[in-house]
Amino acid sequence: MLDDFMTRATLAGVGTAVAAAPLGCFVVWRRMAYFGDATAHAAILGVALSLAFQISIFPGVLAVALIMALTVTVLAGRGYEMDTLLGVLAHSALAFGLVAVSFLSGIRIDLMAYLFGDILAVSRLDLLVIWGGAVLVVALIAWRWSALLTSTLNAELAYASGLNPKREQLILTLSLAITVAVAIKVVGVLLIAALLIIPAAAARGLARTPEAMAVTAAGIGAVSAVAGLQGAYVFDTPAGPSIVCVAAILFAGLNLVGWRNKAGA
């Protein structure tokens, strides 16, 4: 069954949705959308370093994404506004990555595959990495769920409860880096933030509890992956962008239904 490229692609898309869903909820709640985008942009530098040192893409991307996220976390509030700091680091890392790639002689690189994903070329090893990363992210978030929620709601309340908000932020940072490394094969660095944010934003109006929102976001992400792949196959469109397009359509449709219901109430 896994010899079928569409089966592997579907499993990869669902695995990425599972990893991105709970993390995407915290990205939405904490208004960290640009933070996720900046971490994803840094992944190109990780790709370049991985190719230069002839190692697997996953550890290189994971290391650079983690360094970027930690750097932003450390420097935030030290004389720079968060959006300014993220803008500088994100675009600098992307530029350095693209320049570094140009110096790699004798290595054929398909930049479009890294920028927008190449889910149809997912191998069995890629599937193992994607699902391994997804399980790790879900385990981390589940382990610290209550603490993360408390820190997200109110930092002072977290301190009063004996929690360290900075430690919880570090756990989110680590989870985000893992998700970026997992998702680069599926949707590419330019669309990772969309896969994090759109399903979570779409689920926000449907769920009554944080837990329900995370589960609903995972469902919307999985449906987007499956429907996007089918659409790409039928209409011969890029797979990664097609997945994000379906997620955007679901977001718009669910919001229209919600607004209509409120108007009729």
The pLDDT score that the predictor gives to residue 263 is 67
Residues 47/107, Cβ–Cβ less than 8 Å: no
**What is the C-alpha to C-alpha distance for residues 59 and 244, in angstroms, rounded to an integer?**
25
The pLDDT score that the predictor gives to residue 237 is 92
Q: Which of 10-14, 24-28, 35-39, 149-153 has the lowest mean pLDDT?
A: 35-39
Q: Which amino acid is at 66?
A: L
Residue ranges of the domains in the chain? 5-190
70 has pLDDT over 80: no
77 has pLDDT over 80: no
Q: What is the pLDDT of residues 86-131, one digit of tens each?
A: 778 888 888 888 888 788 776 667 778 888 888 888 989 899 999 9
**What is the C-alpha to C-alpha distance for residues 89 and 132, in angstroms, rounded to an integer?**
28
**What is the C-alpha to C-alpha distance for residues 230 and 118, in angstroms, rounded to an integer?**
15
2 has pLDDT over 70: no
Residues 60/47, Cβ–Cβ less than 8 Å: yes
1 has pLDDT over 60: no
Q: Mean pLDDT in the chain?
A: 86
Residues 218, 224, 225: CA angle, nearest 5 degrees: 90
The pLDDT score that the predictor gives to residue 243 is 93
Residues above pLDDT 70, as percent of the chain: 93
Name the nearest CA neighbour of 51 among 119, 132, 110. 110
Which pair of tokens denotes residue 192? 């990772």
Structure-model confidence comparison of residues 42 and 111, the more confident one: 42
What is the pTM (predicted TM-score) of this model? 0.88
HEC string for 54-72: CCCHHHHHHHHHHHHHHHH
Residues 21/10, Cβ–Cβ less than 8 Å: no
Q: Which of 106-120, 154-168, 229-243 has the lowest mean pLDDT?
A: 106-120
**What is the C-alpha to C-alpha distance for residues 124 and 151, in angstroms, rounded to an integer?**
38
The pLDDT score that the predictor gives to residue 223 is 96
The pLDDT score that the predictor gives to residue 43 is 84
Second CATH level (architecture) for the domain 5-190: Orthogonal Bundle (1.10)
